[in-house]
């Protein structure tokens, strides 16, 4: 490369780094320009990305920089720190090897003091980018901790704001128009209105505050959502919120008791089955493989005696009455799904669970198929220790000149890539080992024989809901989505 360099200065700050010392756009640019002045290099252009994350290279400043590199307008890219270019090892190596090197453009990081136009810089860049990737992962972990902190401080974390509220400046604020709908629903339910009657009433009123018509799930979710009593939820935990409640704690508790009491009462009615009834073992778990709707419970009767012959699980969208309730056209009716004998289907699910509880190997294979294979971390730790030793040896050989620079470059890059891969693998092993969902699932599944033999109907239902997230039925195929994350 010629002695006279035509330099493209690249500076970036993320939103979390705007006020950090040494990271502002102005401070980075000033230091890099002074460096070029000392070296007597020409600054062709300063490429700036303000408020952009380094997790990917989809940034306007980077795109302009790449374009000028490919057009050979610059022969050197200068940054203040390696992670200003990218926090991803993959992206860093891609930029250096596939963009800069292929276009005879050097890459220099002032803070780490290396230059890819030198032998040592080429050998070190792959290793240093590993630590930039690690830093990004640590930031992600801090963000997750921040969300937990927000919830503990009473701040809303959800992506979908509950009807009755607006999300303004990081806070839930009561929306008087839709909050009146929430209050109306609670008051009418406390006055004895059924879910069916409420659905008809709400949809005839034009489902104010909702883009879609009301259905049983949305209505029941509203009646059980603790956000309305001033609480916030995150990661299955509830905390005292900073926002104002729409429903009093007393009214909310009364509604929960009424929902529970009605479920028990409705369970005794064989001639008027409804969803969410506590009597039926698989209520709320079954989904139609044809249309995606949930399943109701129906009955078949003897045409002469009118006695109940069989109870059935069937797709909610098969019933014309339900279409009318939701203001849906006839074309939405699910006519291709089949009905399933309640007794036979429930026994089939029980058999599947019981077999799994008795067969540890089958359980391990199930977890493995779903990405939950817990491995021994010892081989990974041993290999990471070996890599550290190999890197040290390579640097020693380079220092005494006994190893060609091409060999150093190739071997260092491979070791850096392997190290990063092993660190990610080790992290996944540790996370899997401490996965509370898996721990709980294994503990629950062992209780299956005792629960199904000695438990009450309610105990069996609670148990099944602890280990099964959803059951999809499509013709004669039953697909169980287990509740282990």
Q: 219 with 185: CB under 8 angstroms?
A: yes
What are the beta bridge partners of residue 45? Answer: 8
Say how far apart CA 6 and CA 3 lie, in whole Å. Answer: 10
Say how far apart CA 378 and CA 383 lie, in whole Å. Answer: 9
Residues comprising the chain, all counted: 485
Q: Which of 14, 117, 129, 357 is catalytic?
A: 14
Residue 475 Rama label (left phi>0; alpha psi -120 to 50; beta): left
119: buried, middle or exposed (CB in 10 Å: 19+, 13-18, 0-12)?
Answer: middle
Tokens of 14: 């993320």
Instruction: Tell me if residue 14 is catalytic.
Output: yes
Say how far apart CA 242 and CA 227 lie, in whole Å. Answer: 11
Could you write out the DSSP letters of every residue in 310-358? Answer: EEEEEEGGG-HHHHHHTT--GGG---S---EEHHHHHHHHHHHHHHHHH
Q: How many helices (H) and strands (E) does the chain have?
A: 17, 15
Helices 436-445 & 342-358 angle (0-180, nearest 10): 110
Tokens of 284: 């709320």
Say how far apart CA 462 and CA 444 lie, in whole Å. Answer: 11
Say how far apart CA 380 and CA 374 lie, in whole Å. Answer: 13
What residue spans of 192-269 are helical by DSSP H?
A: 195-204, 216-224, 249-267
53: buried, middle or exposed (CB in 10 Å: 19+, 13-18, 0-12)?
Answer: middle
Tokens of 369: 């198929």
- Long-range pairs for 432-437 at CB < 8 Å and ≥24 separation? 432/372, 432/373, 432/374, 432/375, 433/374, 433/377, 435/372, 435/484, 435/485, 437/483, 437/484, 437/485
CB atoms within 10 A of CB 174: 15
Residues forming the active site: 14
């Amino acid at each position: 490369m010629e002695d006279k360099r035509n330099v493209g200065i690249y500076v970036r700050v993320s939103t979390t780094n705007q006020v950090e010392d040494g990271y502002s756009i102005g401070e980075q640019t000033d230091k890099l320009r002074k460096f070029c002045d000392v070296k007597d290099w020409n600054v062709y252009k300063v490429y700036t990305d303000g408020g952009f994350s380094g997790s990917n290279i989809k940034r306007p400043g980077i795109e302009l920089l790449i374009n000028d590199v490919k057009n050979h307008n610059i022969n050197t890219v200068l940054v203040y720190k390696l992670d200003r270019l990218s926090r991803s090892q993959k992206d860093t190596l891609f930029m250096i090897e596939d963009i800069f090197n292929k276009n005879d453009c050097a890459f220099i990081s002032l803070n780490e003091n290396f230059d890819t136009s030198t032998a040592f810089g080429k050998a070190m860049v792959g290793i240093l980018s590993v630590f930039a990737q690690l830093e990004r992962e640590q930031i992600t972990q801090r963000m997750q901790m921040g969300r937990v902190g927000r919830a503990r401080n009473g701040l809303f974390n959800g992506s979908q704001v509950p009807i009755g509220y607006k999300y303004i400046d990081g806070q839930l604020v009561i929306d008087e128009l839709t909050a009146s709908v929430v209050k109306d629903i609670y008051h009418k339910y406390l006055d004895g209105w059924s879910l069916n009657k409420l659905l008809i009433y709400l949809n005839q009123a034009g489902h104010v505050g909702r883009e879609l018509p009301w259905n049983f799930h949305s209505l029941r979710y509203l009646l059980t959502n603790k956000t309305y009593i001033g609480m916030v939820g995150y990661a299955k935990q509830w905390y005292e919120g900073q926002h104002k409640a729409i429903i009093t704690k007393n009214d909310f508790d009364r509604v929960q008791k009424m929902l529970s009491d009605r479920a028990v009462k409705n369970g005794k009615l064989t001639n008027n089955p409804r969803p969410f009834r506590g009597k039926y073992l698989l209520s709320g778990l079954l989904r139609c493989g044809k249309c995606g709707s949930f399943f109701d419970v129906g009955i078949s009767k003897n045409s002469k005696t009118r006695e109940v012959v069989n109870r059935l699980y069937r797709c909610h969208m098969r019933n014309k009455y339900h279409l009318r309730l939701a203001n849906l056209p006839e074309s939405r009716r699910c006519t291709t799904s089949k009905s399933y004998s309640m007794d036979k289907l429930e026994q089939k699910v029980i058999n599947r669970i019981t077999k799994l509880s008795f067969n540890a190997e089958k359980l391990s294979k199930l977890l493995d198929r779903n990405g939950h294979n817990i491995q021994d971390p010892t081989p990974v730790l041993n290999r990471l220790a070996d890599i550290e030793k190999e890197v040290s040896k390579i640097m020693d050989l380079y220092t005494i000149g006994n190893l060609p620079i091409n060999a150093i470059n190739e071997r260092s890059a491979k070791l850096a890539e392997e190290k990063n891969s092993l660190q990610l693998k080790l992290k996944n092993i540790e996370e899997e080992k401490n996965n509370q969902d898996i721990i709980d699932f294994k503990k629950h599944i062992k209780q299956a024989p005792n629960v199904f033999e000695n438990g009450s109907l309610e105990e069996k239902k609670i148990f099944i809901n602890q280990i099964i997230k959803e059951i999809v039925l499509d013709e004669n195929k039953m697909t169980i989505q287990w509740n282990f994350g």
